[in-house]
């Protein structure tokens, strides 16, 4: 997967930034500022009665908007709003992703209610035999200090045994799924036996303010490792849309770019 807006995640998944508002295809980064950064400034400047130049022209009013703004002024305004929780201008930028992820990852992602999701339906079509099997360096034991976290690595023999069990369970489930479909059972019931490591796909749209809320929670070390891989991939792509805002976000939360 070569383009900057498509990344492979886990063994069969991916993240693809489909488009954004303003469009990723109109984005040209100058002085560390992208189209998303400028959109935030445009929206914010309406508060002080400054409309964008082209809007002023369209309505036949002469004004002082962009001609008098320097990159440093734009950055100063955005940083002020970022630091002081003036959040609504950040909602004027939107991101749309296409994502393929295991069902258990999607179940965590769908909790972010401010995002819009349209997910593949296993009622309409038969799911392929694609399921997530963690690699051996992810085969960790239950953490003793964090009830929802992972601890040290299992020893190799135990890890390989568990990997074998994960694979066998999913293969058995898929065999039963196909067998029930072949018996004529409706897809909406047959799918019940598939485990949550089977892959699903979705379109996912979110504004930049809520996207940063998602990344604050899901790039964090307390989030499950698998969803972190997706959140980090999405964050890197958002950098092309609003590079200055994402750099402020990374700095605030100690998230280093890959």
Q: Does 213 bind ligand FAD (CB under 6 A)?
A: yes
SS (H, E, C) the chain: CCCCCEEEECCCEEEEEEEEECCHHHCCCECCECHHHHHHHHHHHHHHCCCCHHHHHHCCCCCCCHHHCCHHHHHHHHHHHHHCCCCHHHHHCEEEEEEEEEHHHHHHHCCCCCCEEEECCCCCCCCCCCECCCCHHHCEEECCCCCCCEEEECCHHHHHHHHHHHHHHHHHHHHHHHHHHHCCCCHHHHHHHCCCCEEEEEEEEEEHHHHHHHHHHHCCCCCCHHHHHHHHHHHHHHCCCCHHHHHHHHHHHCCCCC
Q: For residues 94-123, which are near ligand FAD according to CB under 6 A?
A: 111-114
Number of residues interacting with ligand FAD: please give it, by CB under 6 A: 9
CB closer to ligand FAD, 41 vs 207: 207
Task: Tell me which of 45, 94, 191, 218 is the catalytic residue.
Answer: 218
| 147 scored as a contact of ligand FAD (CB under 6 A) | no
**Does 210 contact ligand FAD by CB under 6 A?**
yes
218 in active site: yes
Residues 221-240 that bind ligand FAD (CB under 6 A): 222-223
Tell me the window of 81-89, 93-101, 192-200, 209-217 that interacts with ligand FAD (CB under 6 A).
Answer: 209-217
Give the residue with the Cβ less far from ligand FAD, 28 or 113: 113
Residues that bind ligand FAD (CB under 6 A): 111-114, 210, 213, 217, 222-223
Catalytic residues: 218
């Amino acid at each position: 997967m070569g383009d900057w807006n498509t990344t492979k995640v886990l063994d069969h998944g991916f993240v693809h930034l489909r488009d954004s508002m303003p469009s990723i295809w109109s984005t040209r980064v100058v002085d560390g500022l992208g189209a998303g950064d400028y959109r935030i400034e445009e929206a914010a400047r309406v508060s002080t009665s400054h409309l964008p130049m082209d809007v002023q022209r369209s309505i036949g009013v002469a004004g002082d908007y962009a001609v008098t703004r320097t990159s440093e002024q734009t950055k100063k305004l955005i940083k002020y709003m970022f630091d002081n929780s003036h959040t609504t201008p950040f909602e004027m930028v939107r991101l749309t992703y296409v994502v393929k992820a295991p069902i258990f990852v999607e179940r965590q992602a769908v909790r972010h209610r401010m995002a819009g999701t349209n997910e593949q339906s296993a009622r309409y079509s038969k799911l392929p035999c694609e399921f997530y099997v963690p690699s051996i360096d992810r085969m960790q034991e239950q953490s003793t200090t964090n009830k929802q976290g992972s601890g040290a690595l299992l020893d190799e023999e135990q890890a390989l045994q568990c990997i074998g069990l994960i694979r066998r369970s999913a293969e058995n489930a898929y065999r039963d799924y196909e067998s029930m479909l072949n018996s004529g059972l409706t897809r909406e019931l047959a799918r019940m036996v598939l485990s949550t490591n089977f892959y699903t796909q979705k379109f996912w749209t979110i504004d930049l303010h809520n996207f940063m809320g998602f990344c604050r929670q899901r790039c964090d070390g307390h989030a499950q490792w698998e969803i972190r891989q997706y959140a980090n991939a999405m964050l890197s792509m958002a950098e092309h849309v609003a590079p200055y805002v994402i750099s402020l976000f990374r700095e605030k939360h100690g998230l280093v770019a890959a």
